[in-house]
Amino acid sequence: MPRRSSGRVTLQDIAERVGVSKVTVSRCLREPQRVSETVRLRIDEAVEALDYIPNRQAGALSSGRSLSVALLVPSISNSVFSEVQRGVDEGLREAGYQVLMGHTGYSVLEEERLIDTFLAYGVDGFVLSSTRHTDYAQRLLNRARLPVVETMELTDNPLDINVGLDQRVAGRAIGEALIAAGYRRIGFCGARLDYRVQQRLAGWEDALKAAGLSTQRCQTTPRPSSYRLGGELLSAMLERWPDMDAVFCCNDDLAAGALFECQRRRLDVPGQLALAGFNGLDITDATWPTLTTVITPRRAIGEQASRLIVERLQGTPRDPSRHDMGFEIDLRQST
């Protein structure tokens, strides 16, 4: 008994209905101008009539290209990455690529697992949202010889393409902005100390040290960031350093949570305490008072990443590069 086919409509079905060979049908779908108009019209009609859906797996297996790119983000719920995703998606879709998303949960091991999985799926490239990977993951990526974009932060040793911003410089810049605004007893609060947060912290220290200020008011935790955690961290800090006059929170979630805690304590922001966040999420512009923050060009990072990867996919040779997309400090009511 022959292996039963899946029941799906195939190229062959179209070909038989039209009375041509399946190669012609395949050609017609991929390079319509290479097929005569009469045949093309009849094929189009048959495709329509039979609701033909091409089998990408077969195509990919045969051609060696899957027309898909993997995008790995740490967290789906974190809206920081949804903007990156939008940028990547838009650019790649235009070029005919499908984006397959995975989330690593901020774990390099999970990232490794996903890289493995998506390589098995035959993706044509990767967009990663970090520059830190396991050794095995790096080996896999290098061996696969696929275009790889590492986004968000900058690195001196990109695997391939690197698009992001200097998190340390940004941390320093917001520190300097707080100092310029007259604050002197500036705290830092951070959660989930991934590499980027560590860089921001280092930048904050740079700024304070350069101004001869104390960097002791620093409260961190490995726990994942959340609104409530922002409140908790702020409470802890107010207890330890009651004289604190400003806090740079490592991200906007913490900053918003800290703001809510201030409201709960009837602590005037910025009168009694100034707050600053990082990323420029929607919420920073909606609270009362609005939150000072570092606006990161997440959409632009995604767009640039997709542009570069498409270029590479279309033949430009591999050539490590680094793209600094900058950032912008937006001083709002909270400082």
Partner DNA sequence: TCCGAAAACGTTACCGCTAACATTGCGGCA
Partner DNA sequence: TGCCGCAATGTTAGCGGTAACGTTTTCGGA
By CB under 8 A, residue 257 contacts a second copy? yes
CA dist 214 and 306 (Å) reads 42
By CB under 8 A, residue 37 contacts a second copy? no
The interface partner of residue 51, options being a second copy, DNA, none and the CB cut-off 5 to 8 Å by kind, is a second copy
By CB under 8 A, residue 74 contacts a second copy? no
By CB under 7 A, residue 314 contacts DNA? no
Q: Which is nearer to DNA, 54 or 289 (CB)?
A: 54
DSSP 3-state assignment of 216? coil
- Judged by CB under 7 A, the stretch of 17-25, 97-105, 123-131, 163-171 that binds DNA is 17-25
Residues that bind DNA (rule: CB under 7 A) add up to a total of 32
By CB under 7 A, residue 2 contacts DNA? yes
DSSP per residue, 53-113: ---HHHHHHHHS---EEEEEES-SS-HHHHHHHHHHHHHHHHTTPEEEEEE-TT-HHHHHH
| Binding letters toward a second copy, positions 220-239, x by CB under 8 A | ------xxx-xx--------
Kindly state the helix (H) or strand (E) to which residue 131 belongs, with its residue range.
none
The interface partner of residue 1, options being a second copy, DNA, none and the CB cut-off 5 to 8 Å by kind, is DNA
Q: Footprint of a second copy on residues 171-230 (CB under 8 A)?
A: 226-228, 230
Bridge partners of 73? 103
By CB under 7 A, residue 146 contacts DNA? no
Residue located via tokens 């220290």:
205
Report which residue type is found at 304: Q
Q: Which is nearer to DNA, 24 or 225 (CB)?
A: 24
Q: Which is nearer to a second copy, 9 or 201 (CB)?
A: 9
The interface partner of residue 79, options being DNA, a second copy, none and the CB cut-off 5 to 8 Å by kind, is a second copy
Question: Which tokens sit at 195?
Answer: 């590499």
Q: Footprint of DNA on residues 55-114 (CB under 7 A)?
A: 55, 58-59, 61-64
For 169, left (φ over 0), alpha (ψ -120 to 50), or beta? alpha
By CB under 8 A, residue 286 contacts a second copy? yes
By CB under 8 A, residue 120 contacts a second copy? yes
| Peptide bond before residue 224 is cis, with ω within 30 degrees of 0 | no
Strands 274-276 and 246-249: parallel
Residue 30 near residue 74 (C-beta atoms within 8 A): no
Residue 246 near residue 274 (C-beta atoms within 8 A): yes
Among 36, 107, 272, 316, binds DNA (CB under 7 A): 36
Residue located via tokens 């006059």:
245
Among 20, 137, 146, 179, binds DNA (CB under 7 A): 20
Among 16, 17, 22, 41, binds DNA (CB under 7 A): 22
By CB under 8 A, residue 60 contacts a second copy? yes
The interface partner of residue 230, options being a second copy, DNA, none and the CB cut-off 5 to 8 Å by kind, is a second copy
What is the signed CA dihedral for 207, 164, 101, 118, rounded to 10 degrees? Answer: -110
- Those residues whose C-beta lies under 8 Å from the C-beta of residue 301, and which sit 6 or more positions away, are 84, 87, 151, 152, 163, 164, 165, 325
CA dist 212 and 208 (Å) reads 6
- The radius of gyration of the chain from alpha carbons, rounded to an integer in Å, stands at 26
Q: Which residues bind a second copy (CB under 8 A)?
A: 6-7, 51, 53-58, 60-61, 64, 66, 68, 76-77, 79, 82-83, 85, 98, 100-101, 116-117, 119-122, 139-140, 143, 145, 226-228, 230-231, 256-257, 260-261, 263-264, 282-283, 285-288
Q: Which residues bind DNA (CB under 7 A)?
A: 1-3, 5-6, 8, 10-12, 20-24, 26-27, 29-30, 34-36, 38-39, 52, 54-55, 58-59, 61-64
